[in-house]
Chains A and B, each alone.
Chain A
Amino acid sequence: MTDRSDPTHPATFRILWVAFPLALMLGAFVWIASLDPLRGFDNGAPPVEALTVERSILDETGISLLVRAGGSEPMTVAQVMVDDAFWTFTQDPPGPVARGGAVWLRIPYPWVLGEAHLVNVLSSTGAAFEHEIAVAVPTPKASLGQMRGQALVGAIVGLLPVVLGLMFFPALRGLGQSGMNILLSLTVGLLAFLLVDMIVEALELSNEAAALFQGAAMVWLVALSSFLLLMAVGRSRGRPEGIALAYYIALGIGLHNFGEGLAIGAAFAAGSAGLGTFLVLGFALHNVTEGLGIAAPMLRSQPTLWTFVLLTLLAGGPAVLGMWSGSLAHAPQWSALALAIGAGAILQVIFEVGAYLMRQNSGRLKSVLAPSVLGGFLAGLAFMYVTAALIKV
């Protein structure tokens, strides 16, 4: 190492050449900020203003909105209208809202259960930012009863199908290679569906977030980073197989179920989904293959009962957490972030299950494209697509 360092470039010289450009940059910023050489471009137009509603809470004190400013300058909320009527409000904290800053607007408005309301926030420049409350219902509160009810729904949606899927384990143990191929490719098919579903969902959510979060870029980059990080972790102890691979699948599915829980919880809070029994059962059916997928790579291993418990909690438990955070603390950019991390995790397990499938067949591409494998993959996609029809409202 030391023998490769250039004697003409001592350490102090290097430091100087790092410090000098940095100092120059700082000086340039100070100069530009103080002299404002760009003022010639000031055409007298009002500042660009943006306001995004991240959360809305309806309760016995009225309507509360968490709004985030994203304009070119700090903006002032001048007045608030609800349903075309000026209404009193308090802002917390008060004063102009800095770019990227968020404040609560609390409006003592007697909203009507089950009806729609339109909130219009007027800035000092007269720009109007509308927020529609499609169906007014009281926002769930963090009460014990509420949490218990949501945990039950989360368990039905997340835990139950994983348990049911894993219970096929003894029956599947005797499968031959072709049976394994079908099962593994079925798993890849269902994971592929989840990947597409999560990316689409994350992009939709990121559209609702403030522009400064750069929704689409955030989703793709976070998904990519999460994929690479999980790949690195997974490969640090060789190629994951058997029970280890099952854990990775459970993690990816768990993150997906967290996203699903978020969506149900948010819909629940927004009152847009009546969350009928039919819908909850639809989710359970839709997710039943997840247990099969987790079981598939460990058919030739010797998992203990504890392994099954942990896998179930890892894959299904996040649905409960998602339900809670979706209904109590939902903001589009954080939900999009969670889904993007999940998408990266799903991509990692698709990669690893695919690699495992190849190894099982001695790396022959031909056998991977055999009708049974391709059929299993397409069957996985088709099953997920058809059962998803039950849960899309």
Chain B
Amino acid sequence: MAHPESSPFAAPMPGMAHGNMTMVGLVDHVRNGFDPTHMLTDWDTGQTELLPDGRTLRTFTVEAIDKEIEIAPGLFFPAWTFNGRVPGPALRAREGDRLRIVFRNLGSHPHSMHFHGIHSARMDGVPGAGLIEPGEEFVYDFDARPFGCHLYHCHALPLKRHMHKGMYGLFVIDPDPSRHPENVEVAASRVLGSPENARWQEMAMVMNAFDTNFDGGNEVYACNTIGQAYMNVPIPVDKSRPVRIYLLNVTEFDPINSFHLHANFFDYYDTGTNLTPTLRTVDVIMQCQAQRGILEFSFADHEPGMYMFHAHQSEFTELGWIGMFDVRDPSA
């Protein structure tokens, strides 16, 4: 500290805290037509009707639409979307439902919906089986199984381009408690709208990224498309209620992505197809592309405050995939 002038670069530079590691400005969510905060809880449960055999027929309508979206402040990406949003609608059904997905291609390229689930070859959404030209319509028809946290995506070729242009979404099948007598309580808590489910704070999160200059490497990383969205608007969490995250990775070009929770640990259900955790008490999990799972944790014993979550590839974090939980007392 003898001669600070002689070595100005040995000490932190004045006015240059590392807190400057952020984007400049804010994204116009209204113009985009979707808001990342709203998207966390915006489940599409479709239209239901009772079939003669007593089962539920659940019908979803999905349209492929070309749309330019703002993925970071002032930065526009010519996306291909399902229903005008990226990620596409978070479809949610019940184990055993009969599903009908009416798919219309209003885009400029051939598209499909390929579901990660159990179905016939005819319903697979690959070339020759449900891949349709612009202006065409196709109805995918299959049973909702197995229960878990799944996804759908366009399977038109080249796959890489159709994936990273934005054609993917969550496809969650809630377990039918009557089919899981050994874990009725757990299964019931997963059923959207059930009394056991009411205390849970559920969130849909899709880890994605965008290659804005099409050089085969991503410029912006995010959770639910908008870089740093949950830094600018932290996610409110009531500390008295448990949190459940349906997490999916669709990042193209990078082999894996990851989720790290600060100052807390969680249980992880890989693919969500089991009612007992695959990993207990962890604070980082990683997912390859299309891998997904359910995270459950609680801030009940924490003091209120801002708790960070992000990818634990520092590069992804610093390029946008970072957010905050604003943990509050129930009264607040």
Contacts and interface: CB of A to CB of B under 8 A. Distances in A.
A109 B8 CA distance: 14
A339 B315 CA distance: 42
A86 interface: yes
Contact of B219 (A76, A109, A124, A126): A126
Given A78-B72, A85-B319, A122-B75, A109 B213 contact: no
Contacts of A61: 13, 15-16
Interface stretch (B18-26, B34-42, B165-173): B18-26
Interface in A106-147: 108-110, 113, 120, 122, 124-128, 138
B14 interface: yes
Q: Is the interface of A mostly helix, strand, loop or mixed?
A: loop
B59 to A, nearest CB: 35
A86 B23 contact: yes
B25 to A, nearest CB: 8
Contacts of A78: 72-76
Given A86-B23, A89-B24, A110-B18, A79 B75 contact: yes
B307 interface: no
B323 interface: no
Interface string A138-180: 1000000000000000000000000000000000000000000
A60 interface: yes
Contacts of A81: 219, 319
Interface residues of B, number: 31
A79 B16 contact: no
Contacts of B257: none
Given A86-B72, A109-B20, A126 B8 contact: no
B318 A86 contact: yes
Interface string B203-237: 00000001011010001000000011000000000
Contacts of A80: 24
A127 B13 CA distance: 31
A138 B7 CA distance: 11
A85 to B, nearest CB: 3
A185 B270 CA distance: 83
Contact of A79 (B18, B23, B215): B23
B174 to A, nearest CB: 37
A268 B9 CA distance: 18
Given A85-B21, A86-B318, A109 B212 contact: no
A109 B22 contact: no
B77 interface: yes
Given A88-B20, A109-B20, A128-B219, A79 B9 contact: no
Contacts of B193: none
| Residue from B8, B9, B227 with most neighbouring chain A CB atoms (10 Å) | B9
Query: Which interface residue of B21, B72, B210, B228 has the most chain A CB atoms within 10 A?
Result: B21
A85 B75 contact: no
A6 interface: no
A84 interface: yes
A89 B22 CA distance: 9
B318 A79 contact: no
B9 A124 contact: no
A110 B16 contact: yes
Given A79-B73, A125-B76, A84 B13 contact: no
A87 interface: yes
Contacts of A303: none
Interface of B: 8-9, 12-16, 18, 20-24, 72-78, 210, 212-213, 215, 219, 227-228, 315, 318-320
Given A61-B15, A109-B16, A138-B9, 5 more contacts: A60-B14, A79-B74, A84-B315, A125-B76, A127-B212
Interface of A: 46, 60-62, 76, 78-81, 84-89, 108-110, 113, 120, 122, 124-128, 138
